[in-house]
Homo-oligomer: A and B are copies of this chain.
């Protein structure tokens, strides 16, 4: 089966999904063509997931399809971009119809949720991996970068952290848990919800933003470095997670909220005057700290004692699944 035929057959509904007028030419030629509206810039991000590194080699292909797209779409949210389209480079050991059907169904469903149209790709034979490149549009000058944080601003997150990391022992089959605990954690791991609407709402308001993919501490250090400021995280303000705390206890839950990746929740800095309006529209938004002059990231407990872990986040060349 040729690559276009393979892509068309299994990914047809994603190819037809709303990409809107910005998609001038979709799958089937040497290139796709995008036509961003006048005054808009095109936001682009690429992520690769490798079997045995970023997901278990044996897993549900439907869930994997959802996750593969969500991880990349989250980068559009982090820039405040509106979603437009994506390409899929899929490397497979063989063309197993049952696997492809499940993977495509998960991918297509997430593509519909995120309003992303499949505009091209490549299918190759080899060890299982996938590279998704996403495209969005953002008015020129309004993209949320990492470099605008200023002392006196608030540090906020768009939702609960640590749950995807807490799901890992369940994903890997190292632990069992009651459904009431396991299901919400596994959903966070396999089907992250890219915060696209929140990202767009932060245009012109947040001074710096990113999505928490490497862990809050590591990702905050990216903002601190890019903005030449210090970030302070107040540990007791990190949103609670009942299933996470039930599974692992409060101490380990805090470690995961600070250090685990894969939640794909937005973290951003915000001038205080924008908080009331945003909070009323986004109840899941939490202030978790503040921006100060200086450098680096510190974590303080309720008494103001520095409890910053030595090693925060993870780096991709050291990661384990």
Residues of A within 8 A of B (CB): 1-3, 6, 24-25, 28-36, 38, 41-54, 75-76, 78-79, 81, 87, 89, 91, 95, 119-127, 129, 131, 133, 135-136, 138, 140, 143, 145-146, 209-211, 226, 315-317, 319
- A48 surroundings in chain B (CB, below 8 A): 89, 91, 122, 124, 131
Point out the residue from B41, B46, B209 that lies within 8 Å of A133, measured CB to CB: B46
Determine which residue in A30, A49, A50, A319 has the highest number of CB atoms from chain B within 10 A of its CB, and name it: A30
- How far is A105 from B95 in the complex, measured between Cα atoms in Å? 35
**CB distance A143 to B46 under 8 Å?**
no
Partner of A34, one of B44, B50, B54: B44
- Chain B residues near A129: list those with CB within 8 A: 91, 124, 126-127, 129
> What copy number does this chain have within its complex?
2
Q: Which of B46, B81, B124, B126 contacts A89 (CB 8 A)?
A: B46
**Residue in contact with A33 in the complex, picked from B31, B32, B43, CB distance below 8 Å:** B43
Q: Do B316 and A3 touch across chains, with their CB atoms under 8 A apart?
A: yes
Residue of B nearest to A121 (CB): B46
Let me know if A226 and B46 touch, CB within 8 A.
Answer: no
Q: Are B143 and A25 in contact (CB under 8 A)?
A: yes
- Alpha-carbon gap, A124 to B30, bound state (A): 27
Q: Could you say which residues of chain B place their CB within 8 Å of the CB of A78?
A: 30-31
Q: Would you call B31 and A143 a contact (CB within 8 A)?
A: yes
Q: Which B residues are CB-close (under 8 A) to A226?
A: 28-29
Identity of the chain B residue whose Cβ is nearest the Cβ of A210 in the assembled complex: B30
- Report yes or no: B1 in contact with A317, Cβ–Cβ below 8 A: yes
Task: Give chain B residues whose Cβ lies under 8 Å from the Cβ of A81.
Answer: 31
Instruction: Give Cα A236 to B118, complex, Å.
Output: 41
Q: List 10 A-B contacts (CB under 8 A).
A: A25-B145, A32-B44, A33-B42, A34-B44, A44-B119, A50-B126, A53-B126, A87-B133, A89-B89, A124-B129
Q: Contacts A89-B46, A120-B44, A316-B2: A126 and B52 contacting too (C-beta < 8 A)? A: yes
A43 contacts across to B, CB distance below 8 A: 31-33
Looking at the assembled complex, report how far the CB atom of A257 sits from the nearest CB atom of chain B, in whole angstroms.
21
